[in-house]
Amino acid sequence: MYCLDFMSNKNEQNRVAMFSIHADPLAAIGSRESGGQNVYIRNLVINLDKHGWRVDVFTRFDDSKKKTVAKIGKNSRVIRLKGGKPAYIPKGQLNPHFPEIYKNFLKFINFQNPYKIFHGHHYDGGWIALQAHKEFNKPLIVNFHSLGRVRFQTQRLYAVASNEQKIFEERFTMEQKIIKGASLIISLADTEKRDLNLLYGTPLEKVAVLPGGVDIREFMPLSKNKARETLRLSKEDFILLFVGRLEWRKGVGTLISTVRLLKENILNVKALIVGGKIFGLKKNKDDWNEYQRLLKKAEEENVGDSIHFVGRVDQGRLPLFYSAADILVVPSYYEPFGLVALEGMASQIPIVASRKGGLRFTIKDGQSGLLFEPRNPLDLKEKVLQIYRSQELAAFLVKNAYQDVLENYSWKYIAEKINDIYKSFI
C-alpha cells in the first residue's frame, strides 16, 4: 500500500543518492576491494527498490569496459563517475581523486539536487556524501563498514609493519568530519557503535545498529557428496573452508598454522581458501602478494599440500564450496561484521570464528557456532576438534544457526528497517 502511494508522489520524495566509491555493487566479488560492502549495498538497494525507493548508487568508474549507468532493481541505478584512471586504484590511493569524483557527481545531476537523502558508505563514500549534504542541506546517513582507528589499532596490536601512517591519518580526519555532519550512522554490529563512541567521541544516540543479511535461497545447502564430486574434492578429506578477500586481517595465516597442528589428530585435514584474484590474466597485484606470502607460510609450516587456494569464486557457485566443507573457519583479526559467517549459517555447516567484531554477535558461542581467540592456532585447533569429535555438537550448532538466520538476518527485514529510517528523515 505504502509503496504505491510513495511511488506516485509527484514531488519524488523517494530518491536517494548512495555513494560507494571503491565498491561497485555490481562488481564481481571476492578480490581485494570487492567484498561485503558490495554485497550489502547490492542487496539493500534491490530490497529498498521494492519499497518504492529510487536509489542511485554512485561509484568510481574503475574499468573502461563498464557502462557508465547500469540498472539495479526496477527503478534504481549504479552510476559510475570518473575519478582518476578508469582502472583499479588501491583504496588507500583514492583520496586525491575525491574532488574530481564530487565534481562529476555535480555535473551528473546538472548542479540541481533531486535527492532527499544522501547515504554514504565507508569513509570514501561518506566523504562525497558529506560534500553533497553540505551543499544541498539534505540528511546524511552513513555506514562505515570499517573504521580507520580500529583497523590501525589491529595492525599495531599484532605488530604488523605498515607504511600507511599518512593514509590512516587522512582517513581519521575525514571520518571525524563525516561523523560530525551525519544525521545518523548505521553500524552493522554493537562493537562498531562502541568504537565510534570510545575512539571518535560519537554520541551513542547518533548510531543505530542493524546487522547485515543473507538470502537463504542463494545459500541453500546441497549434498556434500555431490558438491565434492563437482569440485573434484576427495570424500575422505576433512575440509576446513575459508571464504573472503585475501587480506592480512582475514587471518588465513592462523588457519594455515592450525592445519599444521591438526595434522597430529586429523591426518586428512585440508584447508580450502576461496577468494582473491590470483589466477588468470586479470590478477590483482595486492591479492597476488598476499597469496605468495601465504604460500610461503604454508611451505614453511610444511603443509603446502594441505592448503588449496581456489581464487575468487562467483557468489552463484559459492554454495558448492559451503556444502562441500566440514567446517567454515572465519579467522579474522578485525571483522566489522562478516557476511561470510551468515552465509555459512544459511548453508548449514558448523562455524568456528574468531572472537572479534561483529562475529562475537552473529555467532553465539556454543549455541550457533564456536568462537576462538583471534590469532591463536592452538585455540582454533581445540574448537575444530570439538566439532570433529562430536556429530551431535555439529548438528546442534547448525540447527540453531539456521534458526537464527531465519529469524534475524533477511535482507528484506534489513531493508524494511532502513526504509523506516529514510521515512523518518523526510
Is-contact 80 104, C-beta < 8 A?
A: no
Please state, in angstroms and rounded to a whole number, the distance separating the CA atoms of residues 182 and 201: 13
Q: Which of residues 127 and 337 has its CB atom nearest to ligand UDP in the complex? A: 337
Stretch that binds ligand UDP, among 14-22, 92-100, 331-339, 360-368 (CB under 6 A): 331-339
Least distance from C-beta 410 to ligand UDP, angstroms?
15
Report yes or no: 231 and 321 within 8 Å, Cβ to Cβ. Answer: yes
Q: Which is nearer to ligand UDP, 274 or 397 (CB)?
A: 274
Residue 322's nearest CA partner among 344, 293, 297, 294 is 344
- Out of 291, 309, 337, 411, which residue is the one contacting ligand UDP (CB under 6 A)? 337
Shortest Å, Cβ 113 to ligand UDP: 30
Q: Using CA atoms, how far apart are residues 397 and 345, in angstroms rounded to an integer?
A: 9
Site map (CB under 6 A) of ligand UDP, residues 260-289, x = contact:
--------------xx--------------
In angstroms, give the least distance from the CB of 201 to ligand UDP. 25
For residues 47-66, which are near ligand UDP according to CB under 6 A?
none
Pairing of strands 327-330, 238-243: parallel
Question: By C-alpha distance, which of 38, 39, 96, 86 is closest to 60?
Answer: 86
Residue whose grid cell is 547518533: 206
Q: How many residues bind ligand UDP (CB under 6 A)?
A: 20
Least Cβ distance, residue 399 to ligand UDP (angstroms): 22
Scanning residues 217 to 246, which ones bind ligand UDP (CB under 6 A)?
Answer: 243-245
Q: Does 116 bind ligand UDP (CB under 6 A)?
A: no
| Contact set for ligand UDP, span 339-398 (CB under 6 A) | 339-340, 343
Beta-carbon-side half-sphere exposure of residue 8 (alpha carbons within 13 Å): 5
Q: Under DSSP, is residue 242 helix (H, G, I), strand (E, B) or coil?
A: strand
Among 122, 312, 356, 381, binds ligand UDP (CB under 6 A): 312
Helices (H) and strands (E) in the chain, counts: 16, 14
- Interface residue with ligand UDP among 39, 370, 387, 398 (CB under 6 A) is 39
Q: Which three cell numbers stand for residue 269?
A: 585435514
Q: How far apart are the first and last CA of the chain?
A: 18
Question: Which positions lie near ligand UDP, rule CB under 6 A?
Answer: 29-30, 35-37, 39, 243-245, 274-275, 312-313, 315, 318, 337-340, 343
